[in-house]
Amino acid sequence: MRRCHHCGAEWVNEKKQPGVKEYCDQCSAYLHCCLNCRYHDPLVHNECHIPTTDWVADKAGANFCDEFEFTDAATESADESGRDRARGELGRLFGTESRKCEAEALDAFKKLMGD
């Protein structure tokens, strides 16, 4: 399911990709922008997994990038579930799975610091 980065409205169209100046019917945000692209990642160089792309200053603005591929919400949820699994594994590895909530962790920290 393809959704607007700004409001989350689903983009329904017979085309595979939105046009360069196409915008969301709900909030008027540009759809052909870095924030809707599957290659966008703020943690990598140029905030894009494609190393040959040009720098785009306005990530929410329309751009003419030939590498643009609309991100799919199903793919994102699969990535998030993988991320959650990885965090669980790290918790088991370092023995933090016994903490049931943030309040318990805060209490343990305060006890450690003598508060």
Please enumerate in sequence order all residues whose Cβ is within 8 A of that of 91, keeping only pairs 6 or more positions apart, or say none. Answer: 97
Q: How far is the C-alpha of 57 from the C-alpha of 10, rounded, in Å? A: 25
pLDDT tens across 67-92, in order? 999 988 655 544 556 677 777 777 77
pLDDT tens across 33-66, in order? 999 999 999 889 899 999 999 999 999 999 999 9
pLDDT tens across 3-31, in order? 999 999 999 888 888 999 999 999 999 99
Q: How far is the C-alpha of 66 from the C-alpha of 53, rounded, in Å? A: 9
